[in-house]
């Protein structure tokens, strides 16, 4: 087990969270097509989350009526979703 920043592992299963990317090098044991499909499915779910939060933040009524603390939390949530989406896109690109 190794913990570090900026490490990329070729042909590894990855688990993407808001706080980290976890790589499990499995070499020949990984079905790369299945891993790409899993990441694509996860990407679609994150895109739905992004769209949901963006719709809230693009609604003038929500932004005007909601407490600033709630609006700020939604903006932070959007940023986390966007970061996760970028990490998933990175992994998909690495598996092609």
| DSSP bridge partners of 14 | 23
Residue with tokens 């990441």: 39
The reported pLDDT for the residue numbered 89 is: 95
pLDDT band per the 50, 70, 90 thresholds, residue 84: very high
| Residues near 63 by beta carbon (within 8 Å), at least 6 away in sequence | 57, 71
More confident residue, 93 or 55: 55
Q: Is this structure's pTM higher than 0.75?
A: no
Burial of 91 (0-12, 13-18, 19+ CB in 10 A): buried
More confident residue, 31 or 48: 48
């Amino acid at each position: 087990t190794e913990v570090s920043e900026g490490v990329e592992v070729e042909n590894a299963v990855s688990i993407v969270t808001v706080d980290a990317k976890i790589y499990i090098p499995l070499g020949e044991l990984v079905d790369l097509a299945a891993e790409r499909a899993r990441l694509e499915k996860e990407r679609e779910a994150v895109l739905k989350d992004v769209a949901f939060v963006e719709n809230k933040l693009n609604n003038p009524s929500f932004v005007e009526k909601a407490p600033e603390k709630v609006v700020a939390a939604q903006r932070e949530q959007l940023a986390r979703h966007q970061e996760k989406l970028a990490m998933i896109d990175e992994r998909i690109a690495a598996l092609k």
